Amino acid sequence: MLAKRIIPCLDVKDGQTVKGTNFVNLRQAGDPVELGHAYSEAGADELVFLDITASHEGRKTFTDMVTRVAETLSIPFTVGGGIGSVDDVDRMLSAGADKVSVNSAALRRPQLIDEIASRFGSQVIVCAIDAKETDGRWETYINGGRIPFGKGLMEWAREAQERGAGEILFTSMNHDGVKAGFANEALAMLSENLSIPIIASGGAGSMEHFRDVFKEGHADAALAASVFHFGEIGVQELKTYLRSEGICVR
């Protein structure tokens, strides 16, 4: 059995790490390069950096940050936010990223996944899916969770896998920042129907939530932000707890 991964996520805006609730009400959480290095030292398995500044100037700032992050990290890291072409992927990998996360651009033009996979390999593509449950149906959203897209979660996850995505990063918008636990039923459904790893995002508030996402949600990795950024849960203490619950972690 593959070891479960713990992945801190850093949302980056104008060069600073920020965190919100249900995708809004952002507050600052520190320098992403320093935080990334601290997480690497603390035993995180991977990191995700998401550029939430859409402007061209923000893009340059983010690329510079990726280069600086790569110089200080000893663990794999994924970058995402505004990646819409093979050239964008090339720039991020050249700056030192190990993987890229695609979201809105891939929903709008699914062939993007095929293009990235054929050029760089499936192992570099994380297909991020932001979805919200309404009346029992999970619907995908684009533009940082602002606009409903109309495609169902399972339908899109399957298509992404078929086109060459190497992993799915599923964020439940209902659970994001609320700290009441992950969307375990939806995660278990994804895990059951797909053959690629599923990264759970949205809802971490306690160590028990991480236990449940692995045992009930059958996730391969769990991603969280504020509980790590604001010192509510330490990566090493979390891993010690998970081992005590019989969960294989690195």
For the cut 90, the answer to whether the pLDDT of residue 23 exceeds it is: no
Identified catalytic residue from 11, 88, 176, 220: 11
Task: Give residue for tokens 């459904």.
Answer: 189
For the cut 90, the answer to whether the pLDDT of residue 65 exceeds it is: yes
Nearest-5° angle of CA 16, CA 19, CA 20?
A: 140
pLDDT, one tens digit per residue, over 187-205 is: 999 999 999 999 999 999 9
* Beta partners for residue 24, in sequence order: 21
User: CA 225 to CA 199: how far, in whole Å?
Assistant: 14
Domains and their CATH numbers in the chain: 80-244 (3.20.20.70)
- Residue 82 pLDDT level (bands cut at 50, 70, 90): confident
Q: Which amino acid is at 215?
A: K
Q: Which of 83, 89, 154, 158 is nearest to 118 (CA)?
A: 89
pLDDT of residue 20: 64
For the cut 80, the answer to whether the pLDDT of residue 54 exceeds it is: no
Identified catalytic residue from 45, 88, 130, 212: 130
pLDDT of residue 198: 98
240 three-class SS? helix
Does the annotation mark 130 as catalytic?
A: yes
pLDDT of residue 52: 82
| DSSP assignments along 192-211, one per residue | HH-SS-EEEES---SHHHHH
pLDDT, one tens digit per residue, over 209-241 is: 999 999 999 999 999 998 998 899 999 999 999
- 47-to-87, 142, 156, 164 alpha-carbon distances in Å: 22, 22, 24, 22
For the cut 60, the answer to whether the pLDDT of residue 164 exceeds it is: yes
Helices and strands: H and E segment counts in the chain? 10, 12
